[in-house]
Amino acid sequence: MAQADRSKGIHSSIAYVIKESMNSLLAEQSPDGAWHHGFEMGVMPDAQTAIFLYVLGHTDPSWLDGLLGRIAQAQHADGSWGPYDGASGDLSTTVECYYALAIYQRWVGRECEQRHAESFILKNGGLRGCRNLTKVLLAIGGELSWDDLPSPAIYTWLWSRFSPIQIRDMVTFTRLHVASIVILSTLRYVSPRVDQALLSHLLGPCHTSARRRRILPVPRFLLTNCLQYLYSEREQDGTLAGYHSATFLFLCVQEALPSDAPLADTAATIAAVRRVWGCPFGETPNHQQTCDAHVWNTALTLGALRHCRLSGDHEQLRKAVRFLASKQHITQWNAYDRSYHPGGGWGFSSNNTRHPDIDDTVACLEALLNIPDYPVSDWERGLTWLLSRQNRDGGWSAFDQNCAKTWLERIPANDMRHAIADPSTPDLTGRTLALLLCSGARSSESHAVRKGVQFLLRTQEKDGSWYGRWGSTYLYGTWCAIRGLSVASATADGPRVQALTRARMWLLDRQNTDGSFGESCQSDQLGRYEPLGYGVASQTAWALDAFVLLYGQTLSGTEKRKLRLAMDQAANWLVRTCEHGQWREAIPTGSAFPGALHIRYHLYPKLWPLYALAHYESIQNMG
């Protein structure tokens, strides 16, 4: 009787937390129906924005004061800056932050911190040891020679009709940057607003090999093709897919061109970038977001609220549906033949109308399934687009189909992992399979599903986990893969059952003694699971939801009891750590570039625990 009373009390607490969390999310919806929560990527975007505003001659005291104040506060005791809170110092991030403070004379009165920063930069290779994007900023500002960067001539083959490798073999977010960098490097552009070098004492070792590469000729057609590509990719607000750095580089290109070249409205474009400065609800108010996450946020939140069985007739949900419906790409622009093709997908940000992606499309289709206010024909159009994007290997990638020449990551001009290719990933494939099967859009025996399942079976790690490209890291990838495999048919499918068994054992071994889960951002750099040492709400929610999915599989009594105990402990941890319907986490749980850019979604700890607890509550009467 005591056990039953205790169980009843736990379930009552979960119901209360779910209700409180739902109300909290609904209270934070914006008037347009979306959720505008922050999309944070450390201080690097803040520094880049401040530098670009300087070289472009744009002055906005409130904007700049906010950016520079945040940068100064984030400096470590050793003088460095890291890619996220709690991370060790990173050379490129430190150089960009140091430079931003220097050009606005914000080192006055902070000479001790300045000396520490200079010492860190020199000990780690100086300006010439930075990543290429940082070097581009420094070259525009006259702090480095363009000879310190790879010759733009090496990109000629990307735009040549006769080359077996084309610009489309480079993932979308990189090619939007590369086209501008090629033009700026060829023209050796230096901002006319720069009158002296400020960082010459921090150059570091000279690499003479770079100067030898510069003698390669740059054909005229390369500049023409790059420029045409950039103009064809501009959004109505002047940005390039909403990305702040790609947009600022394009504005620098405009300044580098002859005076008779057609110009975009620089002030209006900068105003579009400024729109995503600051995060609402008291979350990092002075951060410069790289773009907004409104579509992604809204799709996930709508899906979580529907998962809690909130009626689709609820007025706030109807507003969210209208917002998402307005952002669907009914047609898709093709920059190569400069024409529109049938579309149906969604992009990440609210001002991205040209680059739909798999993750956002899956999230939107999940959220909009069987919604009366959303036409079935539009849902099916999105499904058709999603199915058409399956790669030859059976998986799905984020942005570009069959963009899987991973050897391109090793070219000398690339100094960031995951910056060139866009291969299939377990997380995206698992999420897509879950949508196809749970919606009834495809059966387990369909060709697309069978290929996707085989991809997941091939990509499982030896320890039973899966790598997550867009979340941190093995917890996320494993949860997503389980979502896809757990709903596939188990009939005569020994490999699938074995894969889930190995995944279950891996997850059980990673649970903390208090019931939580926590994985370090270092996992994606190390290529293996690295424990954090304490619980994180989003990651605990992913693991709990994975347990719930695994609990529905055919298990022995002992295995089921182990899984039940792990589920109860994870759910209880989430209940204990909830405050007024919300959870807090300070570390990023999203991934962009390992070791360089990590994503902290401010909405994640508010919605993923809600999603998992609602799923957990739904199985409480199961045996």
Classify 519 as helix, strand or coil: strand
Question: Which residues face 597 on adjacent strands?
Answer: 593
Query: What is the model's pLDDT at position 331?
Result: 81
Q: How far apart are CA 237 and CA 101, in angstroms?
A: 29
Q: Does 273 have pLDDT greater than 90?
A: yes
Distance of CA 610 to the CA centre of its chain: 21
Query: What is the model's pLDDT at position 214?
Result: 52
Q: Does 622 have pLDDT greater than 80?
A: no
Lowest-confidence segment of 186-200, 220-234, 503-517 by average pLDDT: 220-234
What mean pLDDT comes out for the span 143-166?
86
Options 1.50.10.20, 3.40.50.11810, 3.40.1160.10, 1.10.1200.10; which CATH number does 390-617 get? 1.50.10.20
Query: What is the model's pLDDT at position 537?
Result: 98
Q: Structural domain boundaries of the chain? A: 42-274, 390-617
* CB 83, CB 596: distance < 8 Å: yes
Query: What is the model's pLDDT at position 240?
Result: 94
Query: What is the model's pLDDT at position 259?
Result: 67
- Digit-coded pLDDT (tens) for 346-360: 999 999 999 999 999
Percentage of the residues of the chain whose pLDDT score is greater than 70: 93
Query: What is the model's pLDDT at position 322?
Result: 97
* CB 45, CB 289: distance < 8 Å: yes
Angle between helices 557-577 and 2-27 (to 10 degrees): 50
Rg (the chain; Cα; Å):
25
Q: Which string of DSSP letters, residue by residue, matches 421-478?
A: -B---HHHHHHHHHHHHHTTSS-TTSHHHHHHHHHHHHH--TTS----SSBSSHHHHH
The tokens for 245 are 């750095």
* CB 43, CB 93: distance < 8 Å: yes
- Digit-coded pLDDT (tens) for 435-448: 999 999 999 999 99
Number of Cβ within a 10 Å radius of residue 16: 13
What mean pLDDT comes out for the span 189-201?
94
Cα separation of the two ends of the chain: 18
Q: Does 4 have pLDDT greater than 60?
A: no
Distance of CA 123 to the CA centre of its chain: 31
Number of Cβ within a 10 Å radius of residue 443: 13
Average pLDDT score over the chain:
91
Pair type for strands 597-601 and 590-593: antiparallel
- Digit-coded pLDDT (tens) for 13-45: 999 999 999 999 999 999 999 999 999 999 999
Q: How far apart are CA 406 and CA 503, in angstroms?
A: 27
- Digit-coded pLDDT (tens) for 519-568: 999 999 899 999 999 999 999 999 999 999 999 887 888 999 999 999 99
Q: How far apart are CA 613 and CA 17, in angstroms?
A: 9
pTM for the structure as a whole: 0.94
What mean pLDDT comes out for the span 493-517?
95
Lowest-confidence segment of 192-201, 274-283, 300-309, 479-488 by average pLDDT: 274-283
Comparing 265 with 451, the larger pLDDT belongs to 451
HSE, side-chain direction, 13 A CA sphere, residue 385? 30
Query: What is the model's pLDDT at position 5?
Result: 45
Percentage of the residues of the chain whose pLDDT score is greater than 90: 75
| CATH fold of the domain at 42-274 | Glycosyltransferase (1.50.10)
